[in-house]
């Protein structure tokens, strides 16, 4: 391949990556807000996580669902979301990784690692409602499409970089991550916003709920392994974005 062809391919690849999330607004986080998030992450001393038996964990989630379901269903009705998309199935996964994810049409899975890694019901409620938000926003189907686009972009990049099969498969994997990461910003915002509305209506303490975002950021600074980080961005920027969404939410509450 000559250098013009390589340049063309690189250009096409970045175009493709850029198109992964059509319509996404890449709202910039200001340095002031980023520094504020860093300060919060460095200075907040969170309550110690409380270990739970499987029974306690499942019971806690059942209570959260009972408490927050009326608000979630109300949201569905107000936004004309078909009833079939507003019924969720919650699964406990005996896995030490701090993780929760939405999958399939209506499944939400939370792990033992998540349940043992948090201190309050609010933190779990935030994560559960956030995952419900991904279902309601139909993010899963969109994500899969974007992961495919990301893989394609990665494959082209792999071909350009040169080629062993191994390298191509590595960059394809990277592309898949790019796809999901690029896609996530607006989806995360939407899921966070949904979570805040639902939690607020259901009587949860939002400040306590935010602890889980700070916790994830502190964990990612220590590079602790978490499956949640593969599909959800973390760190100061994540917290700064959450804070922005939170301010928006508060402003809308006043109007």
Q: b vs e for 38-77, b when ≥16 Cβ sit within 10 Å of the residue's Cβ?
A: bebbeeeeeeebeebeeeebbebbeebbebbbebbeebbe
Q: State the binding string over 51-90 for Zn ion (x if CB under 5 A, else -).
A: ----------------------------------------
Q: State the binding string over 116-135 for Zn ion (x if CB under 5 A, else -).
A: --------------------
Instruction: Give least dist CB 38 to Zn ion, A.
Output: 21
Q: Say how many C-beta atoms besides its own lie within 10 A of residue 207's C-beta.
A: 9
- Determine the Cα–Cα distance for residues 248 and 255; give it in Å rounded to an integer: 11
Sign of CA pseudo-dihedral 127, 129, 135, 138: negative
> Candidates 61-69, 114-122, 205-213, 225-233 — which segment interacts with Zn ion by CB under 5 A?
225-233
Our CB check for Zn ion shows the closer of 77 and 230 to be 230
* Among candidate residues 37, 43, 42, 44, the one with its CA nearest the CA of residue 236: 37
Could you say whether residue 232 binds Zn ion (CB under 5 A)? yes
Sign of CA pseudo-dihedral 109, 112, 114, 120: positive
Residues 18-47 that bind Zn ion (CB under 5 A): none
Our CB check for Zn ion shows the closer of 33 and 232 to be 232
Our CB check for Zn ion shows the closer of 108 and 160 to be 108
The residue count for binding Zn ion (CB under 5 A) is 3
Our CB check for Zn ion shows the closer of 133 and 158 to be 133
* Helix, coil or strand: residue 57: helix
Residues 179-218 that bind Zn ion (CB under 5 A): 188, 191
What is the Cα 29 distance to its own chain's centre?
A: 17
Instruction: Give least dist CB 232 to Zn ion, A.
Output: 5
Instruction: Give least dist CB 186 to Zn ion, A.
Output: 11
Ordered DSSP codes for 105-137: TTEEEEEHHHHHH-SSHHHHHHHHHHHHHHHHT
Instruction: Give least dist CB 102 to Zn ion, A.
Output: 8
* List of residues contacting Zn ion (CB under 5 A): 188, 191, 232
């Amino acid at each position: 391949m000559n250098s013009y062809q390589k340049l063309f391919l690189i250009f096409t690849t970045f175009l493709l990556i850029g198109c992964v999330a059509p319509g996404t607004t890449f709202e910039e986080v200001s340095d002031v807000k980023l520094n504020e998030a860093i300060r919060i992450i460095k200075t907040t001393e969170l309550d110690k996580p409380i270990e739970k038996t499987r029974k306690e964990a499942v019971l806690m989630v059942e209570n959260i669902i009972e408490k927050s379901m009326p608000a979630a269903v109300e949201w569905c009705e107000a936004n004309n979301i078909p009833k079939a998309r507003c019924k969720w199935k919650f699964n406990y996964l005996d896995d030490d990784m701090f993780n929760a994810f939405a999958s399939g049409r209506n499944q939400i899975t939370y792990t033992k690692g998540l349940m043992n890694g948090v201190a309050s019901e609010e933190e779990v409620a935030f994560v559960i409602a956030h995952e419900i938000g991904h279902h309601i926003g139909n993010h899963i189907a969109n994500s899969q499409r974007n992961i495919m686009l990301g893989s394609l972009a990665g494959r082209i990049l792999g071909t350009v970089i040169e080629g062993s099969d191994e390298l191509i498969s590595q960059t394809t994997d990277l592309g898949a991550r790019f796809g999901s990461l690029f896609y996530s910003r607006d989806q995360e915002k939407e899921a966070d916003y949904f979570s805040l509305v639902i939690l607020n209506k259901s009587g949860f303490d939002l400040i306590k709920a935010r602890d889980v975002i700070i916790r994830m950021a502190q964990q990612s600074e220590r590079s602790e392994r978490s499956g949640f980080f593969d599909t959800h961005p973390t760190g100061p920027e994540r917290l700064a974005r959450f804070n922005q969404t939170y301010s928006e939410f508060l402003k809308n509450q006043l109007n």
